[in-house]
Amino acid sequence: MQILSILVLPLIIVAIPLYGLIKKVRVYEVFVEGAKEGFQIGVRIIPYLVAILFAIGMFRASGALEMLIGLLDPVLALVGFPAEVLPMAIMRPLTGSGSVGVMADLIAAYGEDSFVVKVAGTMFGSTETTFYVLAVYFGAVGIRKVRYAVQAGLIADLAGVIASVAVCYWLFG
């Protein structure tokens, strides 16, 4: 497992340009074109990051987050859910760029290698900004009655949240 982990990144970094070359893609130019998007995303998420990070920063600094975690921990511990990850579980379906802020806050608070960050990272990568996706896709075709799409999406999100914790216990616990 560990060797696979080490291999996955170099494999992607080398295999994709190689595959592109075989498929006769102008790899360098296409790479640069794609890389430009990095800037756009970086700048685009700044307002979201400011909004979420300062609000969560205040909440943490006031001691309220610590108290909330302290209150919920005994309950959540019964099912093995780390209470520190709760902000991610709540924010993830609501805001994609904002949950980047939650992720950054957790990394700053608990360290990159901590179990909390692994669970939160898995959650971040596994669940989708359900409300945003629904708004964009249904909005694009003018659907107003969404029927059970929200419930089904949120059931999948909830499964993702629970599975993130379980899978992380299994792989890293």
Partner 1 sequence: MLNYIWAGLIIFSLLFAVSSDLRDYATDEFQNGAEIGIELIIPENTPLQRRTAVQFRITAGPDASPEVYRAEWFPSEDQAELIIPVTEALPAHWRKVAQFQDARDLTQLRALVVQRESGAAAVTAVITLPEVHLVKMRSITKAAFDMAEFAVTLAIGLIGIMALWLGLMKIAEESGLIYKIVKVVNPVLGFLFPNVPKDHPALGAISLNLSANMLGLGNAATPLGIKAMEELQKLNPDKESATNAMCMFLTMNTASVQLVPPVTLIALLGVGVAELFYSILITTAISLVVGVTAASYYARKFPEPPAVVPAAAAPQSES
* Residue 30 C-beta: closest distance to partner 1, Å: 5
Q: Is 103 in the site for partner 1 (CB under 8 A)?
A: yes
Which lies closer to partner 1 via its Cβ, residue 62 or residue 80? 62
At 49, which amino acid appears? L
Structural contact between residues 162 and 109, judged by C-beta atoms closer than 8 angstroms = no
- Total residues at interface with partner 1 (CB under 8 A): 104
Q: Which residue has tokens 């993130």?
A: 164
- Told to check if 171 binds partner 1 by CB under 8 A, we report yes
SS3 (DSSP) at 14: helix
User: In whole angstroms, how close is the CB of 5 to partner 1 at the nearest point?
Assistant: 5
Q: 129 is written with which tokens?
A: 């900004």
50 binds partner 1 (CB under 8 A): yes
Phi-psi category of residue 147: left, alpha or beta, with phi > 0 → left and psi -120 to 50 → alpha = left
Residue 3 in contact with partner 1, rule: CB under 8 A: no
Q: Does 89 bind partner 1 (CB under 8 A)?
A: no
* CA atoms of 136 and 114, how far apart (whole Å): 35
Q: How many C-beta atoms surround the C-beta of residue 89 within 10 A?
A: 22
Give least dist CB 161 to partner 1, A: 9
- Please list every residue from 69 through 88 that binds partner 1, using CB under 8 A: none
Q: Taking the complex as a whole, how short is the minimal distance between the CB of residue 78 and partner 1, in angstroms?
A: 21
**CA-atom Rg of the chain in angstroms:** 19
Among 23, 74, 78, 79, indicate the residue that binds partner 1 (CB under 8 A): 23
Q: Which residues contact 106 (CB under 8 A, 6 or more apart)?
A: 84, 85, 87, 88, 116, 117, 120
